[in-house]
C-alpha cells in the first residue's frame, strides 16, 4: 500500500483547508508513532501545494501549524481533547483505530487506515456461509476494512449472478457513519465517507433508533421494515478486538461468525465471546453486594461523560452505598489495588475500552450499564446489553416498584441486608430526643474480640481504614531519647549495594 493513500494525506489536507484550521493536532497511537514524522512532512507539503493554488484564488491564508500528540491518557481510540487543548488546537486529526465516540469541544477528522483483505477469499467464505444458512446475513466489519466493502459488495453481486444459485443471497451491509466529527457543542452536519447515504451523526441516533436503524461503534445500518435483528446472521470481517466483543455482547441473540482477514479464515466458534456476556452477568451480581463503589473516570473527551458520572453518583448514593470518584488515567491492577476499600469500580469511558477483563483486578470493573442493573433495585437483566453510556443518559431510571423483599445475593446464596432500607428506618428513630442516648449506646456496645482476625466488611473508606491492623506510626512518648545513629542502605531498590555480590 502506498503511504500517501494509506494516511489519506490529500483528503486530510483538503479538509483542513476547507475549514480554515490553523492549529491542528495529529493524534497517533503508539503503534503508528514511528510514521508520525513522515506523515507530518507529507501533510505539510500537501498543504503548501494546495494553499498555493488556493492563494491564487482568494489569498490571505495563514500557515497551518501541525502538532503531533502521542501517549494518550486514556484509550488511544478516543480523541484526546485535553491534550489537543494544551496546544490550543482547533481540530484533531486522529490516526489509526478509533471508536468514533463523539467529542465534546473539538471537531475531529479520522484517518482510519486500511488493512489488507483478500476480497475473493472473503466473498467465497461469505457466500458459502450464506448457502448453509437460510437466514438473511448482515455484514459488519472493523473500520479498517471499510474501504474494501464497496468492492466486496460489487464482487458479491457479480458472483451471485454467475453462479445463479437457486437461493438468492440476501446480504445487507453496514455503512460507516462518517470520518469527520463535529463536537457536540456545535451541531453542524458532517460529510459521509463511503456512502453519501451514510447519514451524518446526530447525537440522538446512537443505539437502537425506533425505525430499525442501528448504530454501533462507527457502523450504521437500517433494516427493512418489519425485520428484527434476531432474523439476521451477523458476518464480521475483522480481527477479534473489542469492537467485535461489543457486537457480540450487544447482539447476543444473533448468530455471529467472524472472517479473519489476516489468516483468510472463517471462525465460526465465538463461544469465547459469548462467555464474556455471562462473565459480565457475574460481575453485575458481584457488584450488587458491594458497599463501596469507585467511579473511574476513563475519559475526559467523550461527550456526556460528566453527566454520566453524576448520574452514576446519584444512582449509587440512592442505593445506599458509598461512592468515590477516582481519576487514575488508564487503569491497571496495581493502580486499582491502591484502593482496596472499593468493592467494585465503574469505568466510565468510551465503549471500546470499557470492557476490562477484571480477572487480574482485585475488584471487578464494570460498565455504567452494568452498574445501572446492579444498583437499580428490582431491575432485571433480560439479555439486552447497552455499551455506549450515552444511550443510558437518556434512559431515565426505570421506576421499579419498591419491592418489600430483602435482596437475595447469589454470591452468598441467601438474603443479604440492604444497608439503605435498614439504615433509613433506624436513622428516623435517631432524629428523636433519644438520638444522643442511642449514639452513646452504639459507642458503648460490646465490640467483637479485638484480637480476632475476622472483620466485617466496611461501608465507607474511614470505616475500612479503622479496621486495618496498621494504624500508622506509634508515638512512643515515654522513650524520648533519640535513637542511635544508623548507617542506611545505599543503591537502587532493584538490588541494594549490600546485596550485590
Partner 1 sequence: MVKFTADELRRIMDYKHNIRNMSVIAHVDHGKSTLTDSLVAAAGIIAQEVAGDVRMTDTRADEAERGITIKSTGISLYYEMTDEALKSYTGERKGNEYLINLIDSPGHVDFSSEVTAALRITDGALVVVDCVEGVCVQTETVLRQALGERIRPVLTVNKMDRCFLELQVDGEEAYQTFQRVIENANVIMATYEDPLLGDVQVYPEKGTVAFSAGLHGWAFTLTNFAKMYASKFGVDEAKMMERLWGENFFDPATRKWTSKNTGSPTCKRGFVQFCYEPIKQIINICMNDQKDKLWPMLQKLGVTMKSEEKDLMGKALMKRVMQTWLPASSALLEMMIFHLPSPGTAQKYRVENLYEGPLDDIYANAIRNCDPEGPLMLYVSKMIPASDKGRFFAFGRVFAGKVSTGLKVRIMGPNYVPGEKKDLYVKSVQRTVIWMGKKQETVEDVPCGNTVALVGLDQYITKNATLTNEKEVDAHPIRAMKFSVSPVVRVAVQCKVASDLPKLVEGLKRLAKSDPMVVCSIEESGEHIIAGAGELHLEICLKDLQDDFMGGAEIIKSDPVVSFRETVLEKSSRTVMSKSPNKHNRLYMEARPLEEGLAEAIDDGRIGPRDDPKVRSKILSEEFGWDKDLAKKIWCFGPETTGPNMVVDMCKGVQYLNEIKDSVVAGFQWASKEGALAEENMRGICFEVCDVVLHSDAIHRGGGQVIPTARRVIYASQLTAKPRLLEPVYLVEIQAPEQALGGIYSVLNQKRGHVFEEIQRPGTPLYNIKAYLPVVESFGFSSTLRAATSGQAFPQCVFDHWDMMSSDPLESGSQAAVLVTDIRKRKGLKEQMTPLSEFEDKL
Between 10 and 419, whose beta carbon lies closer to partner 1? 419
Between 20 and 338, whose beta carbon lies closer to partner 1? 338
Sorted by sequence, the CB contacts under 8 Å of residue 194 that are 6+ apart come out as 146, 147, 149, 150, 175, 176
Task: Report the distance separating Cα 126 and Cα 120, nearest Å.
Answer: 10
C-alpha cell at 143: 473500520
Q: How far is the CB of 420 from partner 1 (least distance, A)?
A: 11
Between 65 and 279, whose beta carbon lies closer to partner 1? 279
Chain position carrying cell 444498583? 375
Between 3 and 496, whose beta carbon lies closer to partner 1? 496
Between 470 and 477, whose beta carbon lies closer to partner 1? 470
Between 433 and 469, whose beta carbon lies closer to partner 1? 469
For 291-361, list the strands marked E by DSSP: 292-297, 322-326, 344-348
User: DSSP secondary-structure letter at 310?
Assistant: H
Q: Which phi and psi angles does 191 have, rounded to 5°? A: -95, 145
Task: Report the distance separating Cα 362 and Cα 325, nearest Å.
Answer: 17
The answer to whether 193 and 178 have CB atoms below 8 angstroms apart is yes
DSSP three-state, residue 325? strand
Q: How far is the CB of 461 from partner 1 (least distance, A)?
A: 13
Partners of residue 496 on adjacent β-strands? 491
Task: Name the residue among 26, 141, 5 with its Cα closest to residue 95.
Answer: 26
Q: How far is the CB of 340 from partner 1 (least distance, A)?
A: 5
State the first-to-last Cα distance of the chain, in angstroms, to the nearest integer: 54
Q: How far is the CB of 375 from partner 1 (least distance, A)?
A: 16
Between 182 and 291, whose beta carbon lies closer to partner 1? 291
Q: How far is the CB of 88 from partner 1 (least distance, A)?
A: 34
C-alpha cell at 148: 474494501
Q: How far is the CB of 211 from partner 1 (least distance, A)?
A: 23
Tell how strand 219-222 and strand 232-237 pair up.
Answer: unpaired
DSSP three-state, residue 341? coil
Q: How far is the CB of 425 from partner 1 (least distance, A)?
A: 7
Between 308 and 336, whose beta carbon lies closer to partner 1? 336
Q: How far is the CB of 408 from partner 1 (least distance, A)?
A: 5
Binding site for partner 1 (CB under 8 A): 252-253, 272, 275, 277-282, 285, 333-340, 360, 362, 380-383, 404-406, 408, 410-417, 419, 422-423, 425-426, 445-449, 451-456, 468-470, 493-495, 499
The answer to whether 110 and 98 have CB atoms below 8 angstroms apart is yes
C-alpha cell at 392: 443510558
The answer to whether 314 and 264 have CB atoms below 8 angstroms apart is no
Between 265 and 457, whose beta carbon lies closer to partner 1? 457
Task: Name the residue among 148, 73, 77, 155 with its Cα closest to residue 110.
Answer: 77
Q: How far is the CB of 386 from partner 1 (least distance, A)?
A: 15
Amino acid at each position: 500500500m502506498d503511504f500517501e493513500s494509506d494516511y489519506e494525506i490529500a483528503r486530510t489536507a483538503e479538509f483542513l483547508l476547507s475549514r480554515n484550521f490553523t492549529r491542528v493536532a495529529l493524534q497517533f497511537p503508539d503503534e503508528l508513532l514511528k510514521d508520525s514524522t513522515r506523515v507530518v512532512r507529507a501533510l505539510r507539503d500537501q498543504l503548501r501545494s494546495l494553499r498555493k493554488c488556493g492563494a491564487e484564488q482568494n489569498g490571505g491564508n495563514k500557515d497551518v501549524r501541525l502538532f503531533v500528540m502521542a501517549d494518550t491518557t486514556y484509550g488511544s481510540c478516543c480523541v484526546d481533547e485535553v491534550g489537543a487543548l494544551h496546544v490550543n488546537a482547533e481540530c484533531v486529526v486522529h490516526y489509526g483505530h478509533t471508536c468514533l465516540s463523539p467529542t465534546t469541544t473539538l471537531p475531529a477528522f479520522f484517518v482510519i487506515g486500511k488493512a489488507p483483505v483478500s476480497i475473493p477469499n472473503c466473498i467465497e467464505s461469505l457466500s458459502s456461509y450464506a448457502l448453509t444458512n437460510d437466514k438473511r446475513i448482515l455484514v459488519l466489519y472493523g473500520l479498517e476494512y471499510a474501504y474494501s466493502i464497496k468492492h466486496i459488495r460489487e464482487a458479491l453481486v457479480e458472483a451471485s449472478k454467475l453462479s445463479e444459485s437457486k437461493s438468492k443471497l440476501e446480504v445487507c451491509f453496514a455503512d460507516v457513519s462518517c470520518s469527520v466529527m463535529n463536537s457536540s457543542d456545535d451541531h453542524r452536519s458532517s460529510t459521509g465517507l463511503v456512502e453519501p447515504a451514510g447519514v451524518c451523526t446526530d447525537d440522538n441516533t446512537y443505539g437502537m433508533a425506533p425505525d430499525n436503524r442501528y448504530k454501533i461503534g462507527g457502523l450504521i445500518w437500517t433494516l427493512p421494515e418489519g425485520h428484527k435483528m434476531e432474523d439476521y446472521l451477523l458476518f464480521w470481517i475483522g480481527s477479534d478486538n473489542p469492537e467485535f466483543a461489543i457486537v457480540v455482547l450487544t447482539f447476543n441473540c444473533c448468530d455471529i461468525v467472524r472472517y479473519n482477514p489476516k489468516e483468510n479464515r472463517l471462525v465460526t466458534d465465538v463461544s469465547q465471546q459469548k462467555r464474556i456476556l455471562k462473565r459480565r452477568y457475574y460481575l453485575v451480581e458481584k457488584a450488587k453486594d458491594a458497599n463501596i463503589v469507585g467511579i473511574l473516570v476513563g475519559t475526559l473527551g467523550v461527550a456526556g461523560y460528566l453527566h454520566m458520572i453524576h448520574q452514576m453518583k446519584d444512582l449509587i448514593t440512592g442505593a445506599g452505598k458509598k461512592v468515590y470518584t477516582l481519576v487514575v488515567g488508564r487503569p491497571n491492577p496495581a493502580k486499582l489495588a491502591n484502593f482496596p476499600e472499593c468493592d467494585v469500580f465503574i469505568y466510565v469511558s468510551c465503549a471500546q475500552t470499557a470492557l476490562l477483563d477484571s480477572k487480574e483486578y482485585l475488584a471487578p470493573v464494570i460498565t455504567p450499564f452494568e452498574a445501572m442493573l446492579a444498583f437499580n433495585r428490582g431491575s432485571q437483566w433480560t439479555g439486552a446489553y447497552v455499551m455506549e453510556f450515552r444511550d443510558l443518559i437518556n434512559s431515565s431510571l426505570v421506576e421499579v416498584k419498591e419491592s418489600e423483599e430483602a435482596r437475595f445475593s447469589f454470591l452468598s446464596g441467601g438474603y443479604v441486608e440492604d444497608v439503605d432500607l435498614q439504615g433509613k428506618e433506624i436513622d428516623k428513630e435517631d432524629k428523636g430526643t433519644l438520638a444522643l442516648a442511642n449514639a452513646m449506646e452504639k459507642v458503648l456496645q460490646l465490640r467483637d474480640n479485638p484480637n480476632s482476625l475476622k472483620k466485617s466488611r466496611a461501608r465507607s473508606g474511614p470505616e475500612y481504614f479503622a479496621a486495618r491492623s496498621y494504624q500508622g506510626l506509634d508515638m512512643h512518648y515515654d522513650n524520648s531519647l533519640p535513637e542511635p545513629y544508623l548507617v542506611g542502605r545505599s543503591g537502587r531498590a532493584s538490588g541494594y549495594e549490600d546485596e550485590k555480590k
